[in-house]
């Protein structure tokens, strides 16, 4: 397998997850507002998908390559990175409208903040491609792609949709044009294809660290769900009469059950 071609393939997979963020802006091409109950359900769906993908895919795959201690060590580093990202984001918090209106210097700073936030998601995609070219995968465009990589790319893409919606709502309220909503949403996930390529290149060179890499990606994803996704859904639910626990629970169940096929990843 030619490394350059493989890196390009992984970059495209990461780019697809990035572009999926723009799908969060599409509702505003058809409606003027998005019901809060749907928003809660989408966050629940994203949370269920990420929990399922991490448990059935990343952690399980990590244990196939190493010890529970190695996977746990990687997960701890992943959690630490998310905590650092949270600190950085809250130290330099930007509204979506500011992203659209930023000058060059501010745009560079915003890009740096977004990199810290989106990088773990890109890493999850890149690490999942670790066994590309080996037996047991599926032929796609001349490459043998692991089932885990296919599921992880789909999972991160779906997870990005509610993030794109969350970015688009305040911009829409301030009168931004529809295609600007899509552009800004996609911009917020630009670091993902970069993170995917770097992670894939790293595990190709240092395959002995694969269990740590899988643990890192899984730990970051699970902590993101606990620390950001579910609290975001609960915060939105507080504005709904009677709450939206059923919508959140339904989204979680659908997300988890939908990823059950990952149990059969070789």
Query: pLDDT tens-digit profile of 82-123?
Result: 787 777 666 665 555 565 555 545 555 555 555 566 777 888
Q: Tens digits of per-residue pLDDT, 2-27? A: 778 888 999 999 999 999 988 988 88
Q: What pLDDT score does 19 carry?
A: 93
Burial class (CB in 10 A: 0-12, 13-18, 19+), 105: exposed
Q: What pLDDT score does 122 carry?
A: 87
Q: What pLDDT score does 188 carry?
A: 79
Tokens of 154: 């789909």
Kindly tell me if the per-residue pLDDT of 154 is higher than 70: yes
Cβ atoms of 218 and 58 within 8 Å: the answer is: yes
Burial class (CB in 10 A: 0-12, 13-18, 19+), 133: middle
Tokens of 164: 């794109």
pLDDT > 70: percent of the chain = 84
Let me know how long the chain is: 266
Q: How far apart are CA 245 and CA 66, in angstroms?
A: 38
Bridge partners of 238, per DSSP, are none
Distance of CA 100 to the CA centre of its chain: 22
pTM of the model: 0.76
Closest alpha carbon to 25 in 164, 135, 231: 164
Distance of CA 142 to the CA centre of its chain: 26
Helix, strand, coil % in the chain, rounded to nearest 5: 80, 0, 15
Q: How far apart are CA 226 and CA 102, in angstroms?
A: 31
pLDDT > 90: percent of the chain = 11
Find the mean pLDDT for residues 147-161: 85
Q: What pLDDT score does 180 carry?
A: 83
Q: Tens digits of per-residue pLDDT, 157-188? A: 887 888 788 778 777 767 778 888 888 888 87
Bridge partners of 139, per DSSP, are 144
Q: What pLDDT score does 99 carry?
A: 58
Q: Identify the three-state secondary structure at position 140.
A: strand
Hey, how many other C-beta atoms are within 10 angstroms of the C-beta on 128? 34
Find the mean pLDDT for residues 118-144: 82
């Amino acid at each position: 397998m030619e490394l350059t071609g493989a890196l390009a393939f992984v970059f495209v997979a990461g780019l697809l997850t990035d572009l999926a963020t723009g799908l969060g802006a599409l509702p505003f091409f058809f409606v003027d507002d998005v019901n809060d109950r749907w928003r809660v359900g989408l966050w629940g769906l994203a949370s269920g998908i990420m929990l399922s993908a991490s448990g059935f895919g990343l952690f399980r795959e990590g244990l196939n390559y190493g010890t529970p201690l190695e996977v746990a060590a990687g997960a701890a580093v992943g959690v630490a990175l998310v905590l650092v990202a949270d600190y950085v984001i809250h130290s330099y918090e930007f509204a979506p409208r500011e992203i659209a209106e930023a000058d060059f210097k501010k745009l560079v700073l915003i890009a740096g903040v977004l990199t810290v936030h989106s990088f773990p998601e890109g890493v999850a995609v890149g690490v999942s491609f670790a066994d590309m070219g080996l037996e047991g995968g599926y032929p796609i465009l001349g490459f043998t792609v692991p089932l885990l990589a296919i599921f992880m790319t789909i999972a991160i893409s779906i997870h990005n949709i509610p993030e794109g919606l969350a970015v688009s709502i305040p911009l829409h309220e301030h009168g931004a044009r529809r295609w600007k909503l899509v552009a800004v949403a996609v911009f917020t996930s630009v670091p993902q294809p970069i993170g995917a390529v770097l992670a894939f290149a790293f595990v190709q060179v240092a395959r002995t660290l694969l269990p740590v890499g899988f643990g890192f990606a899984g730990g970051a994803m699970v902590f993101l769900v606990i620390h950001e996704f579910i609290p975001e859904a609960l915060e939105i639910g507080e504005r709904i009469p009677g709450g939206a626990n059923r919508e959140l629970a339904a989204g979680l169940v659908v997300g988890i059950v939908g990823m059950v096929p990952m149990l059969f990843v070789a």
